[in-house]
Amino acid sequence: MSTAVYIHIPYCQSKCNYCDFLSFAVSSCEIAPHIYLQALEKELALRGEELKKAGIKVATLYIGGGTPTILPHELVSQILASCHRHLPLDKEVEWTVEANPSTISLELVKLLVQAGVNRISLGVQDLCDERLALLGRTHTAAQAKEAILMCRNYFPVLSLDLMTGLPKQTTAQLLETLAVVCSWEPQHLSLYGLQVEDGTKLAAQLAAGLIQLPDEDEVGEMFMRSRKYLQSRGYEHYEIANFALKGFQCRHNLTYWQNRPYLGLGLGAHSYWQNERLANTSCLYSYVQCLAAGQLPVTERLVLSRQREIEDTIMLGLRLRAGIKFADFQKRFGLDLRRLYAQQLQCLSALGVIQCDEESISLTESGLPVANLVFAEFIA
Amino acid sequence: MQQRNIRNFSIIAHIDHGKSTLADRLLEKTGALTKREMTAQVLDQMDLERERGITIKLQAVRLLYRASDGEEYILNLIDTPGHVDFAYEVSRSLAACEGALLVIDAAQGIEAQTLANVYLALENNLEIIPVINKIDLPGADVEKVKQELEEIIGLPGDEAILVSAKEGIGIEEVLEAVVQRIPAPVGNTEEALRALIFDSHYDPYRGAIAYIRVMEGKIHTHQKIKMMSHGGIYEVTEVGVFQPKMTPTDSLKAGEVGYVVAGIKNVKDTRVGDTITGAERPALFPLPGYRRTNPMVYCGFYPVDSGDYTVLRDALEKLNLNDAALVFEPETSEALGFGFRCGFLGLLHMEIIQERLEREYNLSLITTAPNVVYQVTLHNGKVLQIDNPARLPKTTEIASIAEPYVVARIIVPSTYVGAVMELCQDKRGDFINMEYLDTSRVSLTYEMPLSDIVFDFFDLLKSRTRGYASLDYELLGYRTSQLVKVDILINGELVDALSFITHNERAYQRGRELVGKLRELIPRQMFEVPIQAAIGQKIIARETVKALRKNVLDKCYGGDITRKRKLLEKQKAGKKRMKQVGNVEIPQEAFMAVLRID
């Protein structure tokens, strides 16, 4: 038995304009990182104990944020040591750390690799300095290149995050960026469309007319062209936003898409554990207090009905290009997906947005741009 | 009280000239209400009326006033609705009076509705007292208004009372003028009963309550009465007066204004304009002027959620209890399912009903574009009344189609004459007359199809004249026109609820415009959606709603699946507010789109 563990480090150098993740600028945060890490260590201990008792190994470990690498190196080491101390890591563990290119140094890279981190995910986003500044990113294209070239020599897997649909971005520019990025030979690429979330600086800038975003057609075009280009460069499009060379799919994220259990540790982290969806508190004070009292900081708990579990499995599984295997579904729920959703499958197939064969159901190419509408059809 | 101490009067005015404010002041001055009891504009009781600043449902109130001659008078103020949709109701409440206060805005002068109301008042032989209101405004030009009174209406300008209802100036003078200038009612109390119904309302405990002016004879409790239009007989359980709350009295005599409760189940049985007489000693003839009001405008109401059909039916029935002018019957649309075709006095009436259904009954409705009633003559000689374009017979069966025409009077500053003439022409108006009211204002008369005037004409008129034009119209009758039905096909399927009837010459343009509007209103879907306009089999316009290009949740949100799901649920909820026609989701507004094209 094995599972996936996510650890959230909610600190950043500064908040990016589009970001609505749970993160704080490290300089302005009232609870210092070392206090947070003490609490996190307690949570790791509690959950690690539970895993060990149940004989469950950690197959994938993902340290994300925020920017985990913004912390001083001794604190980064402390996190890595805590993981080793408390978590029953599998021999073949896929261990990812997220990093901002501006935080990468040889010292840090060595520290991570020595601790057993074998996958680094760099938030490159774009290679246009003007646009990076506009987004509130703290790095430049040159820094990104430097970090990438360093990382790829040390980490078995290099993953890069890129964004589409950015202000003033054109399809041509994006393709050019991808060509440069591909020349650095990352094993894994995530391509995220910029989303305007309420309450972000970006939303305010847009509302004030300070920036304009490319229209829906252009963004759609960017995605489809990027996809085609990356495929031509040998990347498999294996999930709506993710591309990988053969054998380098992100096992950690696959856990989410396959709707299998995972534990999320740290501030505001989410877990899917023993058929419940759990959320940790998003309040730093409560988080620290809870763990000081020896309690898990879980504040939201949703027991999933069987129907909900089925719906989630479909909504998540259809994100994978491989789709959902009928046999897997049958094995998990004892039901025939084809019969359960006969009407939806027929209608959506007729519209050409999904395809069914003997073994599985998946989105078609024309289903990709309308994925949400397709998923919504399966939600009661 | 004796007849000679009674005065029955109305206030008539163009919209916004301050009628309701003046009524409020009169109530306040005569102590009918204390200041504390007054919310602004007491007579406009419905929320909607207060919000829109217009009177829809007319009301009556009895004021007690001790005049300067030392005697006490009963002044019955009968309020009138201030919108052209309700012209018949206005005429009936005027028929219940001997005089009227003609309120004119000191800055605006005489407007189209001022004139229309004056004509109604003159038809009913009312004594007219001109009141120039808002004299406190910086733009007030009292002398000019006096001049207009003399030149346009033919009333002596120096008899006008100068008032600022807002500031409470001239209110006493108005009350004195009502007493001195308006004649007391005449009418023999010994004659057979004849009482005019000028309004009614429905009370859930007591049934329909008729608002009446007794013209002859008297009416008292336990009396058996008869409605002369339909012969229904009822026993009076209560009569009373409005102070302004309903206050029972023993009887109402000729000249008096009040209400009657008689266990009448439905306001349809207390029709405005009808005559109440005694069942045992009936009058020979009813009072003149009664007519059944026929709906001028029809539209379809459909619940967005088809499960709300019975809620909608119950709601319409409840509203109908209080509004005999509203008619409705079940209707089925292939596109929209089960709903009701409803008839209204005009567009305002329609909007009011629609808003009340949505607000008071919490219904989410799809309203189809309103249309007038067409008279269709078939080759076999049969004549059909068509109140729904989708029901128009096949072209091959039709000999001719006639549509209602109105005569419209527009008063406008002379600088805008050209703009108004152009607009009237656009709306298929036939020029009848142009008259200079004074050096700067012109009265234009056009005969126009009702269907063109009833929708956006007034808005266009206002916008092209910077709000200076005023409009009044009345029905002329039916005229044959070259009319065709334009159908709309969405994704190849005919959407019956979007069909409209229009003049042959304008069909192409309107078809194109509507299809263009629909393309903007229909959200992009999973697939490309063609939208076409057709006359018969012939496609006259086509647009395409492109398929969605980007509707993906990219981010992982650190395993926050619940958030992802909430976004999908939100999307799903958005979909529920739309109507599914074939495979296509169509938003509510799309069904009104035909209104938003010229």
Which tens digits make up the pLDDT trace of A173-200?
999 999 999 999 999 999 998 988 888 9
Kindly report the nearest CA distance between residue A215 and chain B, in angstroms: 10
Buried b (16+ CB within 10 A) or exposed e, B403-432: bbbbbbbbbbeeebbebbbebbeebbbeee
Contact in structure between B487 and B467 (CB atoms under 8 Å)? no
Mean pLDDT of chain A: 94
The predicted model gives A25-38 an average pLDDT of 90
Contact in structure between B100 and B12 (CB atoms under 8 Å)? yes
**What's the confidence (pLDDT) of residue B44?**
47
Question: B244 preceded by cis ω (within 30°)?
Answer: yes
The predicted model gives B143-151 an average pLDDT of 91
| Neighbouring-strand partners of residue A237 | A243
**What's the confidence (pLDDT) of residue B56?**
40
Is there a contact between B571 and A373 if contact means CB atoms under 8 Å apart?
Answer: yes
Q: Which of residues 325-384 of B touch A (CB under 8 A)?
A: none
Chain B residue numbers with beta carbons less than 8 Å from the beta carbon of A371 are 551-553
**What's the confidence (pLDDT) of residue B580?**
81
- Residue with tokens 């763990």, as numbered in its chain: A291
Contact in structure between B56 and B352 (CB atoms under 8 Å)? yes
Q: Which of A20-29, B167-176, B272-281 has the lowest mean pLDDT?
A: A20-29
**What's the confidence (pLDDT) of residue A145?**
97
pLDDT band for position B598 (cuts 50, 70, 90): low
**What's the confidence (pLDDT) of residue B120?**
83
Residue of chain A whose Cα is closest to the Cα of B562 = A277
The predicted model gives B226-250 an average pLDDT of 92
pLDDT band for position B553 (cuts 50, 70, 90): low
The string of pLDDT tens digits covering residues B394-416 is 889 999 999 999 999 898 889 99
Is there a contact between B549 and A8 if contact means CB atoms under 8 Å apart?
Answer: no
The predicted model gives A77-92 an average pLDDT of 97
Phi and psi dihedrals of A297, rounded to 5?
-85, 30
- The encoded tokens of residue A197 equal 């979330």
The predicted model gives B82-97 an average pLDDT of 81
The predicted model gives A118-143 an average pLDDT of 95
Mean pLDDT of chain B: 87
Single out the residue of A210, A214, A200, A211 nearest to residue A17, CA to CA. A200
- Please determine, for residue B492, whether its predicted confidence score (pLDDT) is greater than 80: yes
- Please determine, for residue A19, whether its predicted confidence score (pLDDT) is greater than 60: yes
The runs of H, that is alpha helices, within B412-506 are: 417-426, 450-454, 457-464
- Please determine, for residue B36, whether its predicted confidence score (pLDDT) is greater than 70: no
- H-helix or E-strand containing A317? helix A306-317
Q: Which of A251-260, B116-125, B554-563 has the lowest mean pLDDT?
A: B554-563
**Is pLDDT larger for residue B13 or for residue A112?**
A112
Among the partner-chain residues A253, A277, A375, the one whose CB lies closest to the CB of B556 is: A253
**What's the confidence (pLDDT) of residue B41?**
45
**What's the confidence (pLDDT) of residue B19?**
83
| Neighbouring-strand partners of residue A157 | A119
Kindly report the nearest CA distance between residue B544 and chain A, in angstroms: 14
Please tell me whether the overall predicted TM-score, pTM, comes out greater than 0.90 for this model.
no
**Percent with pLDDT over 90 in chain A:** 87
- Please determine, for residue B43, whether its predicted confidence score (pLDDT) is greater than 50: no
Cα separation, B250 vs B246, whole angstroms: 13
- Residue with tokens 């499009």, as numbered in its chain: A237
Among the partner-chain residues B552, B553, B561, the one whose CB lies closest to the CB of A272 is: B561
pLDDT band for position B40 (cuts 50, 70, 90): very low
The predicted model gives A315-324 an average pLDDT of 95
Kindly report the nearest CA distance between residue B525 and chain A, in angstroms: 8
- The encoded tokens of residue B218 equal 């008297």
**Is pLDDT larger for residue B437 or for residue B96?**
B96
Is there a contact between B552 and A269 if contact means CB atoms under 8 Å apart?
Answer: no
Q: For the CA atoms of B46, B47, B48, B50, what is the dihedral angle to 10 degrees?
A: 90
From the CA atom positions of chain B, what is the Rg in Å?
A: 27
- Please determine, for residue B124, whether its predicted confidence score (pLDDT) is greater than 90: no
- Please determine, for residue A64, whether its predicted confidence score (pLDDT) is greater than 80: yes
The string of pLDDT tens digits covering residues A250-308 is 999 999 999 999 999 999 999 999 999 999 999 999 999 999 999 999 999 999 999 99
Q: ipTM value of the model?
A: 0.84
- The encoded tokens of residue B134 equal 């808002």
Q: For the CA atoms of B359, B360, B366, B367, what is the dihedral angle to 10 degrees?
A: -90
**What's the confidence (pLDDT) of residue B271?**
87
The 8-class DSSP code of residue B150 comes to I
- Residue with tokens 């380098």, as numbered in its chain: A248
- Crossing angle between the packed helical segments A171-183 and A216-232, to the nearest 10 degrees: 30
Among the partner-chain residues B549, B559, B562, the one whose CB lies closest to the CB of A369 is: B549
Kindly report the nearest CA distance between residue B527 and chain A, in angstroms: 7
Cα separation, A162 vs A178, whole angstroms: 9
Is there a contact between B561 and A372 if contact means CB atoms under 8 Å apart?
Answer: no
Cα separation, A97 vs B69, whole angstroms: 98
Look at phi and psi of residue A52 and say left if phi exceeds 0, alpha if psi is from -120 to 50, else beta.
Answer: alpha
The predicted model gives B24-40 an average pLDDT of 70
**What's the confidence (pLDDT) of residue B134?**
94
Single out the residue of A230, A300, A294 nearest to residue A272, CA to CA. A300
